């Protein structure tokens, strides 16, 4: 039982949060995703930070930290914005509907 508890402490640690965010950011920047520009907007930067934010939302919500819900709302808006500028004209319709559906369920 001690081993399982120790593993849980590691996976729930703030250091794992930091490592996860850094990993997403470093890999995204190393691959050049941050350089994506659409209509003079730095969509790649929005997308990169949105991916890091989305990962943190999952970690915070599973820890039952309510700030995760607020960050989740912001990343959903960010994702809709990115999708729209990458060519998904229906993004501003589909994202709110999906968000409301998830909230109702």
pLDDT tens per residue, range 11-37: 788 888 889 899 999 999 999 999 999
Residue 43, exposed/middle/buried by CB under 10 A (0-12, 13-18, 19+)?
buried
Range of the domain at 29: 2-104
SS3 of residue 38 by DSSP: strand
pLDDT digits (tens, 9 = 90+) for 47-69: 999 999 988 888 887 777 778 88
Distance CA(87)–CA(68), nearest Å, equals: 28
Query: What pLDDT was estimated at residue 69?
Result: 80
Per the listing, tokens 């970690």 go with 59
How many domains does the chain contain in total?
1
> What do you get for the CA distance between the two ends of the chain, in Å?
35
């Amino acid at each position: 039982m001690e081993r399982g508890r120790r593993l849980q402490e590691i996976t729930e640690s703030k250091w794992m949060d930091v490592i996860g965010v850094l990993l997403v950011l470093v890999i995204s920047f190393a691959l050049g995703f941050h350089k994506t520009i659409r209509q003079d907007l730095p969509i790649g930067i929005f997308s990169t930070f949105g991916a890091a934010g989305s990962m943190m939302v999952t970690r915070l919500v599973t820890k039952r930290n309510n700030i995760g819900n607020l960050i989740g709302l912001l990343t959903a808006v960010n994702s809709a914005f990115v999708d729209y500028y990458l060519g998904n004209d229906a993004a501003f319709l589909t994202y709110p509907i999906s968000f409301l559906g998830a909230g109702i369920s």
